[in-house]
Structure 1
Amino acid sequence: MVILPRSYGPLPLPASPAPAVPVAALQPSITHLANGVQVVELEMADAPVVCLDFWSKAGSRLERPGESGLAHFLEHMVFKGSRSLGPGDFDRQVESLGGSSNAATGFDDVHYHVLITPEGAAEALDLLLELVLEPRLDGDDFAMERQVVLEELSQSEDQPDEVVFQTLLSQACPGHAYGRAILGERAALEDHQPEAMAAFHSRNYRADRCCLALAGPLIGLGLGERLAAGSLARLSRAAAEPIPDDLTLAVGRCHLEVPRLEAARLLMAWQLPPARDHEAVIGGDLLTTLLAEGRRSRLVARLREELRLVESIDLDLNVLEAGSLALLEAVCESEQVEAVELEIHKAWRELMEQPPEPAEFLRAQRLVANGYRFSLESSGSVAGLIGSHALWGRPLELEHPLESLERWTLERLHSELVPLLNPDRAFTLVALPA
């Protein structure tokens, strides 16, 4: 599975008012194995399943020249087996334990997770770590899986919306990994060999470049003792790797005609602070929510509900380690594109001249807060959250985002973040049906 930039917008609000367990009561603990691997755990006694989530700094941003697509291709090959697991054995054994598994490759990292009943957690953990840390990378399987990846690439290239989005990223992030497709380039994929993949795995799946997140009813499972004596504790550390450069977004615009595109698209990309600036990320979430989350948000209310210029308009915050992206997409008729763009510029100027009303600000604040709270109700989403944060050294206190949200006043949002969404600072792409 490929994931594009992570979007941390608020979730739809359910009917219930709040989770049963206060956020402050859900605090993860972190330990280090003898070799330095971080293990972060959160006890969720009432959760029905345990989530085992292995994270590694091995996304497509870490690919060297000539390694295009290896991060995602390796994710595929991991599931083809290990020293004692043949193709399909891992899935069959996890399913026989009553669990399920999945994985995702992003620009910055990759993670593999298992959802399992507490009774099967220990065995599933052994299976997961063997699979991820000791992939076989068999030559015949490699050739077969290459065709699967190439077919996935072909399907992506055949989807008009995917073509538009990838064009936006490549034009807005020239020369940076965020501008290149996670799936990779066809010519490079056709040339890759198992030895190159093994080198990528050896370089990136190392003790100081990975962590394990555990969430769910963990008490009494003995997972800590198992980890201390297992393959994760034997993982060696890597030589220091240079960190790829931070993103510098290009400012400009381009036009694109796309066959089979059903309606025109206006896309705009702005650079916002990177994930490590967690308070700014919370502020960015608040601002993008105020502008385009729900019918009462400023852009949706004006362009869709009042003027009826667009079929839809979305503004998502995509949190990335080298620099986050605010990505706007408006879907409209071709003859309305210019009017839509003018209204977006007008909305920003109005917001610069006059801060939002307190009720508007409080609505966005409530949506962000509740979206975060409800994301803490399942062990899978919690393990993903604490795993990502531990991997990249971000705060693990689960109340931290809510405390940061409280520090964002209407005046501070207006002075610090609204200027960053100046349309003149954006890369703009107009895509029209061919």
Structure 2
Amino acid sequence: MDWQKFDTESGAPLWFMSLPHTKNTSIGVLTNVGSRDEKWPKEAGLAHALEHMFFQGSTRSLKTQKAMSACIESVGGVSNAFTDDEKTFYFHKIATGEIARSIKVFGESLFYPRFQKNIIPTQMKIVLQEMADRNDSPDSYLGENWVKKRMAGHPLSQVTIGLKEAIENFKSKKLYLYCRWQC
């Protein structure tokens, strides 16, 4: 089994590998945006915050988080994502016959995100809880602090989760501008 590469109309490469023995398909979108791309301290955690916001609805037909989730989950699929220092990866696992749903969700969430002012504070509270959870985990805490010390002054030393003070002040305009600049 070999990877096949297709060039889309937008110029973005699409990589594909057929696994005929499976009934599910995993689809992902990799963006080259991570914590290293943030201007610290003001933007600390912005890439990760965007990851959360891309699941909250679009300006098109899937206007809410509930509609977006239902599009994938109603046919047994799952959605998730992760952000690190160099990239953000969004992915779905879905029945092979339902690939169009995944493409629709990716298209709407990544190209037409809806940064609703009333949802941002809730999502940022979730990010802050993730930060607290990491700080309560000795291996995460030690690992992040080791990287900060070893890479001090380099963009890769910036903790992906960000800084509490920055996260508490993220607004829709900042998210939108960062998205247009980086995504």
Aligned counterparts, 1:73-84, within 5 A: 73-83=49-59, 84=61
Q: 1:70 aligns with which of 29, 46, 51?
A: 46
Residue by residue, what CA displacement relative to the aligned partner does 1:65-97 show, whole Å, maximum 9, x if unpaired?
321100001111111111132122211221112
The DSSP-based 3-state class of the residue aligned with 1:115 is: strand
The DSSP-based 3-state class of the residue aligned with 1:123 is: helix
**Distance (whole Å) between structure 2 residues aligned to residue 73 and residue 143 of structure 1:** 11
- Equivalenced residue count is 180
Deviation at 1:104, TM superposition (A): 0.8
The DSSP-based 3-state class of the residue aligned with 2:28 is: strand
The alignment status of 1:51 with 2:29, answered yes or no, reads no
1:98 and 1:162, CA in 2 relative to 1: closer, same or farther beyond 3 A? closer
Deviation at 1:99, TM superposition (A): 1.0
Q: 2:164 aligns with which of 168, 186, 190?
A: 186
Superposition misfits of 4+ residues, deviation over 4 angstroms: none
**Distance (whole Å) between structure 2 residues aligned to residue 106 and residue 162 of structure 1:** 13
The DSSP-based 3-state class of the residue aligned with 1:52 is: strand
The DSSP-based 3-state class of the residue aligned with 2:121 is: helix
Q: 1:120 aligns with which of 74, 89, 98?
A: 98
The DSSP-based 3-state class of the residue aligned with 1:74 is: helix
Equivalent in the alignment of 1:30? 5
Equivalent in the alignment of 1:381? none
The alignment status of 1:89 with 2:67, answered yes or no, reads yes
Q: 1:167 aligns with which of 127, 135, 145?
A: 145
The alignment status of 1:151 with 2:129, answered yes or no, reads yes
Residue by residue, what CA displacement relative to the aligned partner does 1:283-338 show, whole Å, maximum 9, x if unpaired?
xxxxxxxxxxxxxxxxxxxxxxxxxxxxxxxxxxxxxxxxxxxxxxxxxxxxxxxx
The alignment status of 1:108 with 2:83, answered yes or no, reads no
Alignment-mate amino acid for residue 170 of structure 2: H
Is the CA contact 2:24–2:95 (under 8 Å) kept in the aligned structure 1? yes
Deviates more, 1:116-125 or 1:155-164: 155-164
Residue by residue, what CA displacement relative to the aligned partner does 1:219-257 show, whole Å, maximum 9, x if unpaired?
xxxxxxxxxxxxxxxxxxxxxxxxxxxxxxxxxxxxxxx
The DSSP-based 3-state class of the residue aligned with 2:73 is: helix
The DSSP-based 3-state class of the residue aligned with 2:20 is: coil
Bigger radius of gyration, 1 or 2? 1
Gaps of 5+ in 2: none
**Distance (whole Å) between structure 2 residues aligned to residue 170 and residue 37 of structure 1:** 33
Is the CA contact 2:134–2:141 (under 8 Å) kept in the aligned structure 1? yes
Equivalent in the alignment of 1:23? none
Deviation at 1:122, TM superposition (A): 1.3
Alignment-mate amino acid for residue 29 of structure 1: Q
Residue by residue, what CA displacement relative to the aligned partner does 1:391-429 show, whole Å, maximum 9, x if unpaired?
xxxxxxxxxxxxxxxxxxxxxxxxxxxxxxxxxxxxxxx
Aligned counterparts, 1:395-406, within 5 A: none
Identity of aligned residues (%): 24
Is the CA contact 2:28–2:91 (under 8 Å) kept in the aligned structure 1? yes
Q: TM-score, normalised by structure 2?
A: 0.92
1:118 and 1:163, CA in 2 relative to 1: closer, same or farther beyond 3 A? closer
The DSSP-based 3-state class of the residue aligned with 2:29 is: strand
Residue by residue, what CA displacement relative to the aligned partner does 1:251-274 show, whole Å, maximum 9, x if unpaired?
xxxxxxxxxxxxxxxxxxxxxxxx
Q: TM-score, normalised by structure 1?
A: 0.40
The DSSP-based 3-state class of the residue aligned with 2:15 is: strand
Is the CA contact 1:97–1:116 (under 8 Å) kept in the aligned structure 2? yes
Structure of higher RCO (CA pairs closer than 8 Å, 6+ residues apart): 2
The DSSP-based 3-state class of the residue aligned with 1:202 is: helix
